[in-house]
């Protein structure tokens, strides 16, 4: 970096570098591309959203409604709100308080179709597959409008995938009444739209989304940035390391890689650029870290709680199992940032701009109490009740904060509107996830209806016949394709319903390792070209090449492409359920971290100094060996490290440095 650049680097955005966060969200996150409402229209919609959140919380605590009716009322309301709030396309001219007449028709028809099932549930159940023509017509209308709502809010990829599965069901169906059988399966059973994905969503995913909304309104995001700043701001390439730490903590509860990238990146990406990082690298760091937040325990974007439902394992075990893979992921990104900074000669932030860690914890540490309450509650209550208790804890924290501020400043400083806004935002953020889960249910139904699960299992088994690695590669591709453009929680629900059972049946992979495998590869779809939404959002902020940013983000997140294979073959990496003694587990952690260190050096081409191609290959091979559990592979990795260090330290002369 040039010595003539004397402008102080701070974690802020210059006036000439103002970023329109709302516009970026609308461009890259379809859930943010909403119509504009003012006045009485805005109030009506906000009240409806607040009431819906309250209804979900009440039902989550009491759980009195029959499952099929509950699903129908739930998705009917979601479809209605989707057509009112979301335009048919980005090109629709957005006038304030304007909803086209056809969207009112779609809203009432879509909601009415699901309400029809809710009201006539018992009669339809009694008719079973002998549903009449009216039932079939209503099912067709409801399904088509559900797909259109999902296209508007979530995007086209999941709609196309689900549509392809339904079309396949029609093609191979050999019954006399394929339309009746398929529509009955899709619309009127608990195996289709109202299947496990939507049930899980309505039962507690929405509650965690509401909880995340309360956390966001509490100001915990700014606290995480300051906390990361106090930890890593002074170190080499500090701004990028701050971005990694803060985005990991924010992504843990946000549940959206794109939203996290845009929210954090609007500050961190310009700061990284001013520090001296290339635009593509700065955007890629934020995208990789924000995406990785979804694998960060204890919340994992609500996936930890979903896994308890799908695996039947206690929450504490899942959170513990996720620790080492997450540590390896962020260590890999951290080390690549460090080596990149060393190559470029970058420094950290000035000391005067960095908050004191202990003062920060004392003054703002109470913001972490809702997260602590959630983790504690998960070990004693159901996921739904735990989320509700955590929401009340978040409310209590803000109430106490407001009372203290009012007393200290001697004036009333409590903003009750924040609570209402959190409830409204919770509903808005849940619309896309609910629609994606409903459409995902169609995929699950058609996989069962057509026997495609057996076909996919046979395909994976055939690949496994050559070598298990080919079966895992095929599974990885399935996860990435199905995960493109799908919200994190809905993404995992699809993977857990469709792909994880194939791994367990075909390769006898333990249940937790199988679920972690598909979860990881569903998540990295957000930074994997060609549909790398998080990377593209970051590139828009950095004004960098989108494809180069996606490729760089994939390189930074290389650990996420390696570690799942390791714990698929060696489940002891997940620690939980391992019969190994504690000292072997400690050795496993140490060698894995050393392996990630070496892989990061090989990817960046720098350790103590720049590495020629053969050293990079040796570093990558040695690093992979150390990540793989086993004494033999560890020894190979140690030899590789020793060779590279000896060559770089004693046998290679330094070249004169040039100022960039």
For residue range 406-433, list pLDDT tens digits in order.
887 777 666 778 889 999 999 998 998 8
Contact criterion met (CB below 8 Å) for 595 and 627:
yes
Strand, helix or coil at 12? coil
Tokens of 475: 């599974």
Q: Mark which of 170, 202, 234 sits at the end of a domain.
A: 202
pLDDT at residue number 659: 41
pLDDT at residue number 3: 42
pLDDT at residue number 2: 39
Q: Is residue 615 part of a domain?
A: yes
User: What mean pLDDT is predicted for residues 578-603?
Assistant: 85
pLDDT band of 113, cuts 50, 70, 90? very high
Tokens of 581: 């003694």
pLDDT band of 17, cuts 50, 70, 90? low
More confident residue, 658 or 10: 10
More confident residue, 140 or 203: 140
Question: Looking at 76-85, 115-124, 141-150, which range is the least confident one?
Answer: 115-124
pLDDT band of 23, cuts 50, 70, 90? low
Contact criterion met (CB below 8 Å) for 97 and 37:
yes
Contact criterion met (CB below 8 Å) for 534 and 283:
no
Q: Is residue 173 part of a domain?
A: yes
pLDDT band of 14, cuts 50, 70, 90? low
How far is residue 402 CA from its own chain's centroid?
32
Tokens of 225: 């940035």
Tokens of 198: 């939507």
User: What mean pLDDT is predicted for residues 478-484?
Assistant: 79
For residue range 88-106, list pLDDT tens digits in order.
987 776 788 889 999 999 9
pLDDT at residue number 369: 92
Cα–Cα distance between 402 and 461 in angstroms, integer? 59
When the pLDDT of each residue in the chain is averaged and rounded to a whole number, the result is 84
Tokens of 266: 């609007």
Give the residue carrying structure tokens 């993977």: 495
pLDDT band of 116, cuts 50, 70, 90? very high
Whether the full predicted model's pTM is greater than 0.75, yes or no, is: yes
pLDDT band of 26, cuts 50, 70, 90? low
DSSP symbol at 381: S
Q: Mark which of 187, 202, 217 sits at the end of a domain.
A: 202
pLDDT at residue number 84: 95
Contact criterion met (CB below 8 Å) for 599 and 559:
yes
pLDDT band of 655, cuts 50, 70, 90? low
How far is the CA of 293 from the CAs of 102, 331, 563, in angstroms? 39, 13, 16
In DSSP terms, which residues pair with 606 in a beta bridge? 610
Q: Is residue 318 part of a domain?
A: no
| Residues of the domain holding 197 | 15-202
Tokens of 256: 């959206």
Q: Is residue 654 part of a domain?
A: yes
Cα–Cα distance between 635 and 642 in angstroms, integer? 11
For residue range 214-244, list pLDDT tens digits in order.
988 888 878 888 888 888 888 887 788 888 8
Cα–Cα distance between 129 and 114 in angstroms, integer? 18
For residue range 344-363, list pLDDT tens digits in order.
888 777 777 788 888 888 98
Q: Is residue 417 part of a domain?
A: no
Q: Mark which of 178, 202, 226 sits at the end of a domain.
A: 202
Q: What is the tally of structural domains in the chain? A: 2
pLDDT at residue number 635: 92
pLDDT at residue number 450: 82
Strand, helix or coil at 593? helix
pLDDT at residue number 15: 47
Tokens of 612: 């020629």
Q: Is residue 177 part of a domain?
A: yes
Strand, helix or coil at 539? helix
| Phi, then psi, of 580 in degrees rounded to 5 | -75, 150
Q: Is residue 434 part of a domain?
A: no
Quote the percentage of the chain above a pLDDT of 90: 23
pLDDT at residue number 78: 96
More confident residue, 467 or 145: 145
Quote the percentage of the chain above a pLDDT of 70: 92
More confident residue, 517 or 298: 517
Omega before 171 cis (within 30°)?
A: no
User: What mean pLDDT is predicted for residues 184-213?
Assistant: 88
pLDDT at residue number 413: 67
pLDDT reading at 490 higher than 80:
no
Strand, helix or coil at 46? helix
Contact criterion met (CB below 8 Å) for 35 and 94:
yes
Tokens of 438: 């409903």
Tokens of 396: 């209590």
- Maximum average pLDDT range among 132-141, 318-327, 403-412: 132-141
Cα–Cα distance between 432 and 428 in angstroms, integer? 8
Nearest partner of 442 among 657, 27, 144, 127, judged by Cα: 144
User: What mean pLDDT is predicted for residues 567-575?
Assistant: 84
pLDDT at residue number 299: 77
For residue range 47-60, list pLDDT tens digits in order.
999 999 999 999 98
Q: Is residue 120 part of a domain?
A: yes
Give the residue carrying structure tokens 């805005």: 42
User: What mean pLDDT is predicted for residues 289-306?
Assistant: 81
How far is residue 11 CA from its own chain's centroid?
25
């Amino acid at each position: 970096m040039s010595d003539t650049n004397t402008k102080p680097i701070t974690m802020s955005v210059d006036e000439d570098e103002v970023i329109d966060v709302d516009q970026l969200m609308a461009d890259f996150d379809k859930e943010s591309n909403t119509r504009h409402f003012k006045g009485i229209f805005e109030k009506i919609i906000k009240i409806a959203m607040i009431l819906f959140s309250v209804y979900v919380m009440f039902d989550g605590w009491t759980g009195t409604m029959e499952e099929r009716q509950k699903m129908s009322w739930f998705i009917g309301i979601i479809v209605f709100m989707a057509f009112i709030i979301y335009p048919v396309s980005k090109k629709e001219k957005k006038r304030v308080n304007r909803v086209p007449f056809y969207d009112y028709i779609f809203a009432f028809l879509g909601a009415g179709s699901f309400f029809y099932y809710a009201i006539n549930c018992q009669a339809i159940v009694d008719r079973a597959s002998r549903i009449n023509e009216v039932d079939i017509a209503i099912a067709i209308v409801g399904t088509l409008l559900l797909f259109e709502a999902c296209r508007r809010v979530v995007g086209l990829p999941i709609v196309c995938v689900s549509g392809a599965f339904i079309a396949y069901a029609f093609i191979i169906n050999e019954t006399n009444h394929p339309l009746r059988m398929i529509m009955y399966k899709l619309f009127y059973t608990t195996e289709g739209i109202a299947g496990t994905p939507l049930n899980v969503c309505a039962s507690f995913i929405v509650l965690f989304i509401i909880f995340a909304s309360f956390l966001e309104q509490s100001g915990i995001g700014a606290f995480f940035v300051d906390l990361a700043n106090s930890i890593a701001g002074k170190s080499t390439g500090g701004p990028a390391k701050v971005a990694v730490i803060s985005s990991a903590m924010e992504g843990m509860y946000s549940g959206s890689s794109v939203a996290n990238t845009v929210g954090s990146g609007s500050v961190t990406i310009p700061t990284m650029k001013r520090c001296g990082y290339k635009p593509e690298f700065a955007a890629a760091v934020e995208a990789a870290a924000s995406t990785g937040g979804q694998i960060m325990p204890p919340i994992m974007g609500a996936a930890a709680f979903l896994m308890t439902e799908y695996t039947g394992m206690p929450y504490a075990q899942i959170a513990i199992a996720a620790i080492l893979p997450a540590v390896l992921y962020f260590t890999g990104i951290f080390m690549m940032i460090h080596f990149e900074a060393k190559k470029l000669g970058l420094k950290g932030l000035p000391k005067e701009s960095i908050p004191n860690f202990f003062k920060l914890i004392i003054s703002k540490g109470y913001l972490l109490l809702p997260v602590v309450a959630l983790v504690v509650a998960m070990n004693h209550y159901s996921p739904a009740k735990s989320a509700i208790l955590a929401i009340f804890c978040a409310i209590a924290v803000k109430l106490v904060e407001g009372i203290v501020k009012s007393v200290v400043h001697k004036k009333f400083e409590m903003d009750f509107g924040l609570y209402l806004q959190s409830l409204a935002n919770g509903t808005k953020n849940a619309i896309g996830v609910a629609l994606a889960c409903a459409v995902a249910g169609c995929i699950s139904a058609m996989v069962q209806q057509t026997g495609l699960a057996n076909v996919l299992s046979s395909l994976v088994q055939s690949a496994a016949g050559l070598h298990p690695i080919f079966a895992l590669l095929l599974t990885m591709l399935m996860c990435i394709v199905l995960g493109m453009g799908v919200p994190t929680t809905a993404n995992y629900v699809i993977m857990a319903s469709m792909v994880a059972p194939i791994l367990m049946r075909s390769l006898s992979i333990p249940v937790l390792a199988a679920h972690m495998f598909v979860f990881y590869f569903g998540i990295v779809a957000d930074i994997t070209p060609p549909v790398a939404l998080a990377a593209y959002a970051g590139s828009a902020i950095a004004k960098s090449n989108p494809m180069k940013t996606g490729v760089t983000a994939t390189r930074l997140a290389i650990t996420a492409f390696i570690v799942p294979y390791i714990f698929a073959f060696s489940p002891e990496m997940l620690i939980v359920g391992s019969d190994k003694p504690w000292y072997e587990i400690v050795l496993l952690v140490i060698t894995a971290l050393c392996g990630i260190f070496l892989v990061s050096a090989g990817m960046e081409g720098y350790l103590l100094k720049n590495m020629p191609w053969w050293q990079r290959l040796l570093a990558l091979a040695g690093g992979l060996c150390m990540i793989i559990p086993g004494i033999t592979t560890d020894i190979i990795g140690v030899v590789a490290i020793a060779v590279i260090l000896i060559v770089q330290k004693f046998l290679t002369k330094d070249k004169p440095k040039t100022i960039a």
